[in-house]
Amino acid sequence: MSRPTRLAAVATARLAEAGVPSARVDAEILLAEALGIDRGRIPVADDATAAQEAAYEALIARRAAREPLQHILGRAYFGPLTLAVGPGVFVPRPETELLAVRAARQAGRGAGIVDLCAGSGALGLYLAATVPDSRVVLVERDPAALAYLRRNAAGTGATVLAADVRDPGLPARLTELLGTVNLVVSNPPYVPDDAPLDVEAAADPALALFSGPDGLDLIRDLAPLAARLLAGGGEVGIEHDDTNGAGTAELLRRAGFSDVAEHRDLAGRPRYVTGRMDA
């Protein structure tokens, strides 16, 4: 049997050597998983059993091979949400919470909300959980992502719609489901085709990442779609690559949005753009 703190220290060194950027945090999260305790209790936990040590070794070996932490755990945290994730669906990033928080503040009680390219459902389900009486539709086309989305949306009251955002019939389907749409959010594929990725990001499905030479191919379609959905007034918020915020803003202006604003994340990088559609 071994002390948990010693196990965590050895694992931290191993993950750091493997190039894991958050080695200590990941080592402790995985140790808590193996021990079945909260991470904060590691310093006072009982010695690990042989079975727990073996389980921990298996988890650390996977992380040292640069398998994403969220894939190992089978879940990701996003604001108040715990989302099922794994191979085949984009893992939500903490930076996206900034868009979610702003969108929740802008949406009024009972708002009709559409999350385009919903993936695991992070944005739309955050809004379903935080905007009173909201009516949320989550749009996703990829079958693998849809499996996670349906699991995450179960019991939330949000509606999952299997559809391509480029389908010309989509606005009519959304209007039928929601009536008036007050808010459109999206964290779409936006990475330029030749952009380098770190090992963990490359584990996300390419369909959820790349969108043409400048990363704007899908956003070129999302901007006019959002304008059509919000013809009666409302706000759009779209996350983008840190190289194409100005391009995203210009696409919203061309689609007829006013008060277009670019927003940065906590690290100061361009992260998302918002705009308003006048009624």
Annotated binding residues for S-adenosyl-L-methionine, written as ranges, equal 140, 187
Cα 177 from Cα 162, distance rounded (Å): 13
Q: Do 235 and 276 contact (CB within 8 A), yes or no?
A: yes
Q: What is the DSSP letter of 156?
A: S
Conformational region of residue 155, where left means phi above 0, alpha means psi within -120 to 50, and beta covers everything else: left
Annotated binding site: 140, 187-190
Distances from the Cα of 252 to the Cαs of 129, 223, 277, in angstroms?
27, 5, 10
CA angle, 98 as apex, 254 and 90 as ends, to 5°?
85
Annotated binding site for substrate: 187-190
- Name the nearest CA neighbour of 57 among 31, 39, 91: 31
Cα 248 from Cα 263, distance rounded (Å): 11
Whose tokens are 């990442």? That residue is 209
Both tokens assigned to 65:
């091979």
Whose tokens are 């994730």? That residue is 85
Q: Interhelix angle for 4-17 vs 50-64, to 10°?
A: 20
- Cβ-based burial of 70 (10 A; exposed 0-12, middle 13-18, buried ≥19): buried
